[in-house]
Amino acid sequence: MLAEHYIQLADSLVSSNLGVNKITAYKTAIERYYYGSFLACKETLLEAIYPYREKDLLNRNVHSIVKRIFLHSNLYQVASLLEELKALRNEVEYNPAFVPTDYDVELSKRYAYEIFSILEEINEENIESLKNAYLSLRV
């Protein structure tokens, strides 16, 4: 599934009545906004570091690896947005008492769309910065 499809699914869950409980729809949408954004970041990194050790982005610590590389590049704001999204996703997944609000969903959506916007504008300087961050961190 492409990263964009996760975002589209989240948008559909929020904007339409799919016969699903609102809380369930909101929780799932927040998760999809995070995973769509994460996958877009991972895909960008795979392109940036090729032909280096892309297998590093296939291991179980991939979420922290992706965040660290973006944090140490000139695209550090992507790491911050992704971290905020992950915090919301963690609330949804690990706190059974958490009831997401309209604000939580809108915030997740805004973060996801901002990440996608930044990644769409990526240039050679950004690619080089990601590659250098990857190589310097010796993931």
pLDDT tens-digit profile of 20-38? 788 999 999 999 999 999 9
What is the mean pLDDT of the segment spanning 55-64? Answer: 74
Burial (Cβ within 10 Å: 0-12, 13-18, ≥19) of residue 68: middle
What is the mean pLDDT of the segment spanning 3-30? Answer: 87
| pTM tops 0.75 | yes
| Residues 6 or more apart whose Cβ sits within 8 Å of residue 91 | 98, 100
Residue 18 has pLDDT above 80, yes or no: no
| Contact (CB, 8 A) for 30 and 92 | yes
Domain boundaries, the chain: 3-137
| Contact (CB, 8 A) for 114 and 40 | no
